[in-house]
């Protein structure tokens, strides 16, 4: 038995949320939100490197959390298919 931890970095550019940019794409930006999720309770850790209005932060956090959940489910399906 083991736990899966998923994490995702979202970057906000001109009010558009982009998911998991690479270093070159992300480095000149200054608004990042990182979310990590630890099952089974889906506890999360959220951090940001800049100040954001609370309504924008809530939207970005919710999108990132949902993306982490999707990534977690896909990873579980792959493990099941591979017999891990």
- How buried is 80 (Cβ within 10 angstroms: 0-12 exposed, 13-18 middle, 19+ buried)? exposed
Q: Is residue 77 part of a domain?
A: yes
Rounded Cα distance, 17 and 59, in Å: 9
Residue 1 has pLDDT above 60, yes or no: no
Q: 70 near 58, Cβ under 8 Å?
A: no
Give the pLDDT confidence score for residue 27 in this predicted structure: 65
Task: Check residue 46 and give its pLDDT.
Answer: 72
**Residue 74 belongs to some domain of the structure:** yes
- Strands of 1-84, DSSP E: 6-13, 16-19, 32-38, 43-48
Omega of the bond leading into 63 within 30 degrees of 0 (cis)? no
The predicted structure's pLDDT at residue 30: 60
**Is pLDDT larger for residue 5 or for residue 82?**
82
Does residue 69 form part of some domain? yes
Q: pLDDT digits over 8-66, tens only?
A: 777 777 777 777 777 777 666 567 777 777 776 667 677 777 777 888 888 888 888 88
**Residue at 66 is within a domain:** yes
Q: Residue 69 sits in which domain range?
A: 6-82
Residue 59 belongs to some domain of the structure: yes
Q: What's the total number of domains in the chain?
A: 1
Instruction: Tell me, yes or no, whether 1 lies in a domain.
Output: no
Full-model pTM: 0.66
């Amino acid at each position: 038995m083991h736990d899966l931890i998923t994490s995702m970095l979202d970057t906000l550019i001109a009010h558009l949320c982009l998911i998991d940019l690479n270093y070159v794409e992300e480095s000149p930006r200054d608004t990042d939100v990182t979310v990590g999720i630890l099952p089974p309770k889906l506890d999360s850790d959220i951090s940001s490197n800049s100040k954001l209005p609370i309504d924008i932060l809530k939207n970005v956090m919710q999108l990132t959390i949902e993306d982490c959940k999707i990534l977690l489910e896909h990873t579980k399906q792959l493990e099941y298919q591979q017999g891990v």
